[in-house]
Structure 1
Amino acid sequence: MLRPSASLAALLSAAAALLPATPANAADSDEANTHASYRFSEYDEDALHGSVVGDPRRYRVLSQQLDVDTKLDGGAWGLKLDATHEVMSGSSPWFVAPDAQLRPVQVLSGATIRDHRSALSVALTQNPGTSANTTYTASYSSERDYRAAAIGVERSQPLDAATTLGYGGSFSHDVIEPTDAALYNRITHATKNTASTFASLAWVLDRDSVLQAGVQVNLGHGYLTDPYKLFTYGADILAERRPDRRVEAAGLVRYRRSYAQIDAALHLDYRYAQDSWGLTSHTIEASWYQGLGHGWRLVPTLRWYSQSAARFYAPFLAAPAGQRYYSSDYRLGTYGAFSTSINIRKAIGRWEFSLGAERYHSAKGLALDGGGAAVPALVDSTRVWAGLDFGID
């Protein structure tokens, strides 16, 4: 699955500021010189049912995020700091074994996962709030077994009164050092690099609507295998094996429309992605931003996702025939997913409070083509969050 880079997403959303102020972009119209926001969220995966070996309880993630966005040098520069801390626990799908009838039985790692992740990103923007700006980004994240550092640059510039061009790129370097490497015969150290480039165009169709389109290409190289996953290869259980190179490409189209007469806005997104491993995916998302008066806003969202399987995905190989690559990771199988969320916000002066919840369900039957090999470890999950935003003159 290929998601838009953070820089591409920022460029695509920036065109919404060209619309009149509505609930959808009220934050963009705020004249405060400094914005601060805090988010707390809890993500819980449902216990796995069916043919399972091990503790069926899965991931639980508690996350805290603090953002500070301020203007420097009289507004000539903008500085954005984003700090995140996550605490993760639970069990994870480990490998799939066949039963006597060659039906898949999911084996889980046991509820022994205990980890945390800390991340910090910095973005410095020249001429923030204008259609001609340049942003320089740097980020770093660390877990017990994983470190990642990235840098990027992006540029947004108007081509005419109604069209804005965005483009840029980024590079990341990741270090993987799995835990319990000697105990489970895992690798002790590996690296991977990812280079990304993108371009986007945004058109102001009229005073109430914007159409945006973008393309993104990622090139990953290095250790792209999950060091914690095993695979049933005939009578053997081996470490899974994936190619050491992956090329991903995605196209995105977004439409934003303001309905000032009813204090509302519509967001429609479509994304198509394809990669060199054989995965293709479609994503459709629709959100409605509704002002309710007295500082209240309601934002319901619907999202559908579908992907085909990687060429080397299989739950297991009962009679292997010299396959070079193999993985039973459910994230590489054929499946579809549907999620619904609701977010309610209340503005009081420079403060805005928000509460939200999301329910996510995945199944093979939700994919465009629900055939092919079984995918026994698909996720159902619930996420809830609360937030607080504050603006300072």
Structure 2
Amino acid sequence: MLAPGAVVAVIKAEKMVNPGLQALTAAALMLPGLVNSTANAADGDEFNFQYGRYEESARDLNGVKSQYKPITVDSLHSGGKVNLTDRIKFAFNFIQDTWSGATPITTAPSGRQGNQPYRQFGTVAGASPYIQTGGDGIETNTVYFDRDLKPLLVDPDSLFSDVTSLGQDRKLVHTMSTASPETRKEGNFKLSYEWDEAAVDIGGGISVEHDYESRFGNAGVRLDFNQKRTTLNAGLSYTNSDSFARLSDHFTKPYLNYIAYQSQLKPVTKDQSGDTQILGKRDDWGGNLGLTQVVNKDALFKLGIGFTHSQGYLENPYKAVTAFFIQPVGLPSLGEFSSTIPFVGIGKAFLEQRPDYRNQWIFSTGWVQHINPLDAAFHFDYRFFHDDWGINAHTFEGDWVQPLGAGWSITPRVRYYSQSAADFYHPYLIVGPSADPGNANLASDNAKLPSAFSSDHRLSGYGALSGGIMLSKQFSKGIRLDAGFEYYTHQGDLKLGGGGEADYADFNYYVANATLNVNLTTLGRSLADDPHAHHRHHSHHHGAPLPAGLMFGHVMSTPGDVMVGYRYMYSRQDGDMLYAGKTVSDRAIVDNGCIENGGTCRTVPEFMNMHMHMLDIMYAATDWLNLMVMPQFMDMDMNARPLSGITPAASGAVDHLHGGHDTGAVGDTGMYALVKLFQTEGHQINMGLGVTAPTGKVDIKLNRMHKFDSGYIHYGMQLGSGTWDFKPSLTYTGQASDWSWGAQVSGTKRLEARNSVGFALGDAVQSTAWGSYNVLDWLAASVRGIYTAQGAIKGGFQALPGDCAINYNQNVVQPCVDINPKGGSMDNPKNYGGHYWDVGFGLNAMIPDGAFAGHNFSVEWLQPVEDNVNGYQLERSGTLNATWMYAF
């Protein structure tokens, strides 16, 4: 978004600031929509895990009911801060965003009426309104204009020889474009060194997407004066970015003018698949200066200034501008028209062009006031943004942080934003009238375009109003849970002084997030004051260590105990294609791989990666019963390759060979009861009874063509089962001296025959046995064997209401079965499941003392030994499991 981000000056005035004010200030920085400042929110070691959801409302398309869903973004953020020494601190963050849905790419009058032979009058509509712009031989639509060059509506019953005006067309409409899910991943760090009245820090990171990559670094300094009542912050940053956007020809032909590309200021290329590709480089330099003054024990004043210089490729490669080249209607090729319509505009769409540099300034100020009678804090901030693109923006925001007692606090927040339009913003362009009505030379026409133009509504004049609330619960021993929600409305009418963009560009969105924060230092202090803490650490330490990939192996025996944990699993498939347990040729897959799916295989997976992040939250209700909840976040990426020997040969347009496929969001949520069945010295038997709720998406779609609705992405790329599943387990563990061992049988039973889109994953059973030896008092090594059997998928994708595809050029409905792609081996439900054998090698560390005393870290690698798969599948490469757990 164009709206400038908050400039947050975090200060430390430990001796003079009211402690309540400090805590409330830190809490407010975590509100939805603000820059995440968790690493600065509290002293000491800490870890946080956050999930967020962003979802836009549908756009007003002037009566056209779009089949495209609005943009949604699922975000995962995990990070932490560690005190390496008393003065050296290290902070790190991992951020992942996966988004999908439709976004505007260009704008034009809503009553775009065509007047070409063999084409009806009327807006070309369906999944989204769009205009044919003359690309690669496609006929161009025309729009009629009056003598003041205002667009006109025309009578759809008019004859070609006598077009009748129905008055001005005062309504604009977006052309919406959708894409398959995409994922961005970012990792960053900060290393700080602190003196008594000063600190320096350096940081950096990298952000990676399929079509964009940026690398950044920063440095900062903090100086305290006046007995730490006054703090000065200064910082510098640099970012280097590369874009390599791919515009698939089959996807962009309906509205982008390909011939026009050749004469645009920034050239484009063709990649190896024949798609149009835009390569660009960008550099950003920034600096900021902030001053914070403690006014008194209850008040704080902030002042800041920031500057950023950007140069290089600053365009959004997926945004276009529709230009209408005006010509008199008296053209021999178009016939004689009514005198009420003096001009016709030939529509062409061009990639947007922005200046090659941008200078941005931000001025900010703020006040924090502690309200003693209510033990609350009021925050008010104002920011002014200015750049040399002609944008001036004002941001006002305030929040009230109110403790409720017993560790609870609530923080309502309101924010108002207003900006003026960029100098080169135009919803659409008018070029002409042409001096040569018969001119068909696009290069000559393109020369009449301005040097910079964009119809990106984020560069328009508008206002925005948002309100949010955050609820926080601080538990004893350093655990905090936060949940936030914010609703935002974007409207041209909300612009200060009026004159904002028309209501066609209005939309709303909401952001919801939840955060688990574990302050390890606070936790350690609380355990030091607990007379039973040493006993609990001792018992956990001498319990049988479990391999990282094993769950449900331990039951806590002290009622009231809590365990928190984080699990990460990474698995990869690549290499040969298999049939049963043997390598198979491309020819065999072409002939047989998709027969049961009613088609011929054209592609197979080249590789597939899966990442799973899980939280373990366990509570000991009694000495024999533990209750457990396990939310999880998943993301996957896959690349397909064409099979040799198919006719016709695979292509990007038909087989979607335009790079990797991504999915990512919340997976299914597990809820379990762990029961201790038997325990004696050195031996324990536990039973797990659980279910998983179908919170993971199973209806994710892969965009295949602009003219047709999307098809479901492959079964293995969906994020859940879509069914309620029963998950029992039985675990035995034993221990003698430095040796420990165990065995487990677990299973998954689908409780529903079909999910909402028509299929059910196969039932599964797994058995495993392991042995472990304490190499050191705190470190154990393990070896494990695993056997897994899983059935094939039952049923298959079925079309839902609204899923039938429409050919918008010919106004015909395609069979609903087209919603189920059949061109790849991964699209056949029979090509899933099988029998698998693995061997695992692991390490388990229980930290005995120091800042991380009682924390358990484990890692395990599972190496495939044999794959006996159902149908045709890609062989497995291995699985990595890593866990952190802490019980208190």
> Considering the TM-score relative to the shorter chain, is it more than 0.5?
yes
Task: Give the match's secondary structure for 1:87.
Answer: strand
Partner of 2:79: 67
Q: Does 1:342 align with 2:469?
A: yes
Q: Aligned partners of 1:44, 1:289: CA distance in 2, in Å? A: 26
Partner of 1:386: 514
Bigger mean CA offset, 224-233 vs 95-104: 95-104
RMSD over aligned Cα, in angstroms?
Answer: 2.1
> Deviations 1:155-190 (Å, cap 9, x if unpaired)?
110233332111121000011011235664654311
Partner of 1:80: 91
CA contact (8 A) 1:147 1:175 kept: yes
> Deviations 1:64-115 (Å, cap 9, x if unpaired)?
1011011112x211110011111111011011122332631210003x3410
Alignment of 1:16-165 (within 5 A): 19-22=17-20, 23-25=23-25, 33-51=44-62, 54-73=66-85, 75-98=86-109, 99=111, 100=153, 101=169, 103-110=171-178, 112-127=179-194, 131-161=197-227, 162-165=229-232
CA contact (8 A) 1:315 1:375 kept: no
Shift of 1:30: 5.1
Bigger mean CA offset, 44-53 vs 80-89: 44-53
Task: Give the match's secondary structure for 1:270.
Answer: strand
Counterpart of 2:17, as a letter, is: L
Counterpart of 1:223, as a letter, is: Y
Relative to 1, partners in 2 of residues 1:226 and 1:55: Cα closer, same or farther, differing over 3 Å?
A: farther
Relative to 1, partners in 2 of residues 1:70 and 1:261: Cα closer, same or farther, differing over 3 Å?
A: farther
1:168 pairs with one of 235, 243, 252: 235
Partner of 2:389: 277
Relative to 1, partners in 2 of residues 1:60 and 1:191: Cα closer, same or farther, differing over 3 Å?
A: same
Q: Aligned partners of 1:365, 1:215: CA distance in 2, in Å? A: 29
Runs of at least 5 residues in structure 2 that lack an aligned partner in the other structure: 28-39, 112-152, 154-168, 253-257, 259-275, 325-346, 433-447, 522-888
Task: Give the match's secondary structure for 2:11.
Answer: helix
Relative to 1, partners in 2 of residues 1:29 and 1:122: Cα closer, same or farther, differing over 3 Å?
A: closer
CA contact (8 A) 2:171 2:504 kept: no
2:417 pairs with one of 305, 308, 333: 305
Q: Aligned partners of 2:450, 2:213: CA distance in 1, in Å? A: 31
Partner of 2:850: none
Task: Give the match's secondary structure for 2:458.
Answer: helix
Relative to 1, partners in 2 of residues 1:69 and 1:346: Cα closer, same or farther, differing over 3 Å?
A: same
Q: Aligned partners of 2:63, 2:391: CA distance in 1, in Å? A: 27
CA contact (8 A) 2:481 2:515 kept: yes
Shift of 1:123: 0.4
Task: Give the match's secondary structure for 1:365.
Answer: helix
Bigger mean CA offset, 233-242 vs 246-255: 233-242
Partner of 2:305: 215
Counterpart of 1:108, as a letter, is: M
Q: Aligned partners of 1:115, 1:377: CA distance in 2, in Å? A: 24
Report the TM-score, using the length of structure 2 for normalisation. Answer: 0.42
CA contact (8 A) 2:70 2:102 kept: yes
Q: Aligned partners of 2:386, 2:41: CA distance in 1, in Å? A: 36
Q: Aligned partners of 2:205, 2:503: CA distance in 1, in Å? A: 34
Q: Aligned partners of 1:96, 1:157: CA distance in 2, in Å? A: 50
Partner of 1:224: 314
CA contact (8 A) 2:50 2:514 kept: yes
Q: Does 1:257 align with 2:366?
A: no
Bigger mean CA offset, 150-159 vs 321-330: 321-330
Q: Aligned partners of 1:324, 1:375: CA distance in 2, in Å? A: 28
Relative to 1, partners in 2 of residues 1:263 and 1:372: Cα closer, same or farther, differing over 3 Å?
A: closer
Bigger mean CA offset, 117-126 vs 319-328: 319-328
Shift of 1:56: 4.9
> Deviations 1:320-370 (Å, cap 9, x if unpaired)?
664211111010001000000010011111101111111100101111032
CA contact (8 A) 2:201 2:220 kept: yes
Q: Aligned partners of 2:300, 2:92: CA distance in 1, in Å? A: 28
Q: Which has the higher contact order (CA 8 A, sep 6+)?
A: 1
Q: Aligned partners of 2:104, 2:510: CA distance in 1, in Å? A: 18
Task: Give the match's secondary structure for 1:227.
Answer: coil
Task: Give the match's secondary structure for 2:192.
Answer: strand
Shift of 1:374: 3.4
Alignment of 1:281-300 (within 5 A): 281-300=393-412
Relative to 1, partners in 2 of residues 1:263 and 1:102: Cα closer, same or farther, differing over 3 Å?
A: closer
CA contact (8 A) 1:4 1:216 kept: no
CA contact (8 A) 1:344 1:355 kept: yes
Bigger mean CA offset, 241-250 vs 313-322: 313-322
Counterpart of 2:509, as a letter, is: S
Task: Give the match's secondary structure for 2:69.
Answer: coil
Shift of 1:378: 3.4
Partner of 1:316: 428
CA contact (8 A) 1:42 1:383 kept: yes
Counterpart of 1:109, as a letter, is: S
Shift of 1:376: 2.9
Runs of at least 5 residues in structure 1 that lack an aligned partner in the other structure: none
Shift of 1:55: 3.9
Shift of 1:43: 0.6
Q: Aligned partners of 1:26, 1:275: CA distance in 2, in Å? A: 30
More strand by share: 1
Report the TM-score, using the length of structure 1 for normalisation. Answer: 0.92
CA contact (8 A) 1:208 1:258 kept: yes
CA contact (8 A) 2:11 2:231 kept: no
Shift of 1:29: 8.2
Q: Does 1:369 align with 2:497?
A: yes
Q: Aligned partners of 1:333, 1:72: CA distance in 2, in Å? A: 47
CA contact (8 A) 1:315 1:374 kept: no
Identity over aligned pairs, percent: 26
Aligned residue pairs, count: 385
Task: Give the match's secondary structure for 1:376.
Answer: helix
Relative to 1, partners in 2 of residues 1:379 and 1:173: Cα closer, same or farther, differing over 3 Å?
A: farther
Partner of 1:325: 452
> Deviations 1:228-250 (Å, cap 9, x if unpaired)?
01111113211111101000001
Task: Give the match's secondary structure for 2:493.
Answer: helix
Counterpart of 2:299, as a letter, is: S
Q: Aligned partners of 2:301, 2:470: CA distance in 1, in Å? A: 24
